[in-house]
Amino acid sequence: MTDLAIATHDLSFSWSDDAPILQSCTLSVPKGEFWMLLGTNGSGKSTLLKLLGGLLKPQSGTLEIQKPFGFVFQNPDHQLVMPTVATDVAFSLGSDGLSTLEVRHRVEESLAAVNLRHLQQRPIYALSGGQKQRVAIAGAIARHCEVLLLDEPTALLDPESQIDLVKQVQRIVRERGITALWVTHRLQELDYCDGAFLLDQGRVVDQGDPIRLEQRMMELQGSFL
C-alpha cells in the first residue's frame, strides 16, 4: 500500500443474509488525491465509508487506510460537541498529550486552513451549516490526519455553500497533500475531484475519469427512476 491511502479487496457487508449491502467491493485511492464515491440511493456508499472509518465491521474481505484519518458526518451536529469553534477543535486533540501551546497552535493552524480563524470564539449554534462542516474538517486537520472521509457533507447545505465546501476540500488536499474520499450523488461536485468510483448494488462497477462517470451515473439514475 506504499502509494495508496485507501485500499479494499472483496469487502462484503450485510445487515442480514438475504439483504447484502456490499458485495466483493474492491477499490484503491492514491495518496494525496481527492476522490468521490458515487451511486444511487441504496448502492452502499455510506456503508462503505463507515467500514473504512471503523464505524462498522465487514463480514469478509480486507481494508487498509492510512492513519490517522478523520470522518466528517452528513450532519455536523452529530460530531460537534463543544460550545465554541476553538474549543471544539481543541477537543479533538484531547488524547494526544500535547502542551497547551501546541494545542493553541494547531487550533489556529487548522481553522486558518478552512478560513475560520476569525471565528474562534463564535458559538457553534451561531454557525451556518457550511461553517459547521468546516469546523469538523478543521478538527481532522488539527490531528494531522492523512485521510479525510466525508459522508455526503453537503447534503444539508444550500447550493452556494455546497460548492464552497467542495472547493475548500479540494484546496486543502492540494495544499496539504492529504487524501480525501467524498460520498456524493451531486454530479456538479465531480468537477472538483481527481477521480471517482461508481457503486451499483454494492459493487464498484466503474472508476476513474469523473466526466465519464458522471455520464454513467446519469444513466444509472435514469434506469433507477
Structure confidence by residue, pLDDT tens digits, 188-215? 999 999 999 999 888 999 999 998 998 8
Pull the grid cell for residue 62.
480486507
Residue 118 lies in a domain: yes
Same domain, 221 and 165: yes
* Structural domain span for residue 125: 77-145
Asked if residue 63 and residue 152 are part of one domain, the reply reads yes
Same domain, 150 and 213: yes
Residue 225: predicted pLDDT: 47
Looking at 145, 164, 199, the residue that finishes a domain is 145
Angle of helix 129-142 versus helix 100-113 axis, rounded to 10:
130
For the stretch 27-74, pLDDT in tens is 999 999 999 999 888 889 999 999 999 999 999 999 999 999 999 999
Cα–Cα distance measured from residue 44 to residue 37, given in angstroms and rounded to the nearest whole number: 10
- Our count of domains for the chain comes to 2
Greater model confidence, 219 or 121: 121
150 and 139 co-located in one domain: no
Judged by DSSP in three states, 36 sits in: strand
Residue-averaged pLDDT of the chain: 91
- Domain-embedded: residue 153: yes
Q: Is the domain of 221 the same as that of 115? A: no
Report how far residue 46's alpha carbon sits from residue 37's, in angstroms, rounded to the nearest whole number.
9
Return d(Cα 203, Cα 205) in angstroms, integer.
6
